[in-house]
Structure 1
Amino acid sequence: MKEGTDLVNEQVISVWVRDPRIQKNDFWHAYIDYEICLHTDSVCFTKKISCVRRRFSEFVWLRQKLQANSMLMVQLPGLPPKNPFFSMNNAQQISERMKGLQKFLEKILNNPLLLSDSCLHLFLQSQLSVSKIEACAAGRTHYSVAQAVQCCGHRRFKFDVDSQTDVSMSCDSDSDSSECRDAEPQMNDLATNKAESTDSLDFMGTSQEENLSCSSGST
């Protein structure tokens, strides 16, 4: 029994939040999303390498959902504080938020109780919208959690027809989306301000990221 416990303790779950990008809904409305890359050898995950994109408001939803699902048995770590003056033109603010989101996920993934939550797995390893995540985790979809995870990255993934964000999340709750018009050039500043943790992902070449996509016949 002790050997089994040691084996679990030796399993590694590494997560990185990187590559912030501005996504435009229209000329006046936009938001920033971030790439979440996960590498693991943990038995808790059927997919060992994955990359998805999520926005700040989806992290807020995840924390609320995990707190509710855990029946208050777990004190969840906090997210980066909301900033009413958050600007898409401010590379430092974006970098600080990105680091805070990574710390949040690192703490979440260190909790064995939370690792059993299907919403967490779908958040990290599928590109389903939050409404579809809730439906899938509750068994209200014609596809399973495992199918949604395995098909993540497939461009024609029919399960994810609404993976563009929900209407309720049309802009980040603490940012002024009207600033997006001139924001894209400012994102280049982040190239010199990336967190050190993202450097460890350099070994992931384009060919490896392509391997994340499953074939249409995957189950």
Structure 2
Amino acid sequence: MIEESEQVISVWVRDPRIQKNDFWHAYMDYEICLHTDSVCFTKKISSVRRRYSEFVWLRQKLQANSMLMVQLPELPPKNPFFSLNNAQQITDRMKGLQKFLEQILQNPLLLSDSCLHLFLQSQLSVSKMEACAAGLTRYSVAQAVQGCGLRRFHSEEDLQKDHSMSCDSDSDCSECKISNVAINKAESTASLDFMGTSQEETLSCSSVST
């Protein structure tokens, strides 16, 4: 939790999940939960899923955009022997990613970076985040952030149906309407407890798809 001039920014990296590209290829992604009353964020509560490679992209963009004026924290090192079945490796990486974000969010200069806001509060792919931050999309950064809202799934069948429509977060698919994101029911209120409920919802980004 970060407190800056009585403004609070709380961030969690949690709920690691294995996502399959196809029968042979899979990757791990993590839920990023943000809860804040900071004026730097127009959206006070959000949840998205990101994978390690997207964290690497974020660090590179922040370093480039800050013109080396900021010494960025390090990400947990890339492990060539990282296993999706090794619980300790996954836990260590998840803790390292959360520490990275906590340190990033303590820097007022970085809080003004559009890439950071898109990374934390939209489910756009890397290519779409770059285009949006550069002003090359029909939607603005604010619209991309606000366009990702909560949508209730009423049955497992609905969840599977919408998951089948989703595309990988690293892909260039222009029809990515629904992202495979699970968040807690409690996030719809101001008194959040991200770690204390098993009720799931999904994040829908349909209003900012291209």
What SS does the aligned partner of 1:13 have? strand
Unpaired stretches in structure 1, ≥5 consecutive residues: 1-6, 156-160, 169-198
2:49 partner SS: strand
Counterpart CA distance in 2 for 1:147 and 1:40 is: 19
Say which of 62, 81, 85 aligns to 2:81: 85
Q: What is the count of residue pairs matched by the alignment? A: 174
SS in 2 for 1:136: helix
Larger Rg: 1
Q: Is the contact made by 2:73 and 2:103 (CA closer than 8 Å) also made in structure 1?
A: yes
Query: 2: CA distance between counterparts of 1:9 and 1:204?
Result: 31
Return the structure number with greater helix share: 1
Residue in structure 2 matched with residue 55 of structure 1 by the alignment: 51
User: In the alignment, residue 7 of structure 2 is paired with which amino acid?
Assistant: Q
Report the structure, 1 or 2, having the larger strand content: 2
1:165 equivalenced with 2:166 (yes/no): no
Percent identity of equivalent pairs: 80
CA distance in 1, matches of 2:58, 2:82: 21
Deviations, residues 137-175 of structure 1 (Å, cap 9, x unaligned)? 1110000111100111467xxxxx98623359xxxxxxx
Contact 1:154 1:215 in 2 (8 A): no
Q: CA RMSD in A?
A: 2.8
The 1:200–1:127 alpha-carbon spacing in structure 2 relative to 1, beyond 3 Å, is: same
Cα distance between partner residues in 2 of 1:120 and 1:163: 22
Is residue 2:135 matched to residue 1:139?
A: yes
Deviation per residue, 1:21-56 (Å, 9 max, x gap): 000011110100000000000000000000000000
Q: TM-score, normalised to structure 2's length?
A: 0.75
CA distance in 2, matches of 1:154, 1:138: 27
Question: What residue ranges of structure 2 are gaps of 5+ in the alignment?
Answer: 152-164, 173-191
Instruction: Give the counterpart letter for 2:117 in structure 1.
Output: H
